[in-house]
Amino acid sequence: MPISAALLLLSAATFVSLLAILGQAFIAVEASIEMGEDMSITDRLIVFAISVLPAPLLILPGQIHFGARHMQDLLQLKQQLERFSVRAAETTCCSVDHCHPFTGELLPCDRELIFHTLRRWDLQLQFEQHKDSEDRPDGREQYLDRFDLLVRSPPPSLLTTVGSGTPPFHYIAWMLAPSQLAQLPQILHLGLRGSRGWGLWQWMLDYCKFPAISFFAFATLVLCWRAGASFPRQMPRWTMVPILELGAVLLVLPFFMPYPLVRNNVEPSSLAPAVPLAFMWILVALTYTWLYRVRNPQCCGTPDVETAKGSANSA
C-alpha cells in the first residue's frame, strides 16, 4: 500500500473506535436505567456529545477529504507506471551538486549507487537464467531499460489491490479487531447478569452486529473516497464533504435498522433477529467482494505481463 495510506488507516481506525464507544455508551445507559438509576437530560446529552459527535463532526470530514485525495493519487498510478524511467529519478545529492549545503562536505552520488546496485542485480539474474546454457550476459548498458520494463508491468495482484483503493482485507481485520474485542467483556457481563431478560446466547447474538457494522462502515468510507475522487476538481471541498457524509449515513442506516426493528418487536427467546443479522453479514461479504473485484480502469488496466517480460529478456 502507498505510504500515504498509513495516516488514512489510522484515522479510519479512530472513526470505527468512536462508533464502538457509541455502542458501549448506549448499552451502559440502558443498563443504568434498567437498574433504576435515573439519568438526567444533562447526563444523557453529555453521553451523546462524547460518544456521537466526534465521529461525524471531526473524524469523518477529514476521512472523506484526505481519502478522496488519496484515491485521486491512485487514479494516476497507471499513467505514472507507464512513464516510469529510473534515469529520470531525482536525487538530493545531484540537486546540490554533490556538496553538503551546510558543511561543504563532498557527497557521494546516490544515482551512481542505485545504478550500480541495479547493474549487479541484473547481472546476477542474467547469469542465473543462463547458467545451463553457453550464452552469457554481455554486460551491455541495457539493465536500466530492463528495470524500467519490469516497473511498467507490475503483477496483476498488486494492481487489483492497489487499483481498487481498498486496503488488503487482513489490514482491515487487524485494524478493526481491537475496538470489537474491547466490547466483549461488557457483553459477557450483561449476558451473565441476564440484563433485559436475555440469556448469554442472546447477548452474544446481539454482539455479532458490532463487527458487521464496523466492516460495513469502513467499506462505506472506501466508497466515499472513490466518489470524492470522481468529483470535479473545481468543486469546493466544503461542498463535497457534506454531500458524501449524507451519502454515508444513507448507506449505513438501511444496513443497520432492520435488526433493531426485529429485535425490539419479538420475544427475547425468539431467533427471528438472527435473520436480519445474517443478511447484514451477507451484505458485508458481497460488498467487500465487489470492492476487490471492481477497480477503476484509469488506475490499472490489465497489463500484458508476458509481453513485458519477453521484451525485458530481449532488451
Question: For every residue of 70-101, which 3-state class applies, written as one string?
Answer: HHHHHHCHHHHHHCCCHHHCCCHHHHCCCECC
Under the banding of pLDDT at 50, 70 and 90, the label for residue 39 is low
Asked whether the predicted pLDDT for residue 288 surpasses 90, the reply is: yes
Whether 16 contacts 214, CB under 8 Å: yes
Cα(69)–Cα(85) distance, integer angstroms: 25
Alpha-carbon distance of 106 to 90, in angstroms, equals 18
Stretch 18-42: mean pLDDT:
66
Calculate the dihedral angle through the C-alpha atoms of 47, 51, 53, 55, rounding to the nearest 10 degrees.
Answer: 180
- R_g over Cα of the chain: 27
Residue 304 reports pLDDT greater than 50 = no
Give the C-alpha separation, 12 to 63, whole Å: 7
C-alpha to C-alpha distance for 303 and 273, rounded to whole angstroms: 47
Contact 241, 264 (CB under 8 A): no
Measured CA to CA, the distance from residue 210 to residue 184 in angstroms comes to: 10
Consecutive H or E run containing 176: helix 169-181
Across the range 213-224, mean pLDDT stands at: 90
Residues in Cβ contact with 192 at an 8 Å cutoff, skipping those fewer than 6 apart: 200
Quote the CA–CA distance of 200 and 268 in Å, as a whole number.
11
- At 219 the pLDDT is 92
**pLDDT given at position 207:** 92
8 Å CB contact between 152 and 82: yes
pLDDT surpasses 70 at 36: no
pLDDT in tens, 230-274: 887 777 777 888 888 888 888 988 998 999 899 888 888 888 999
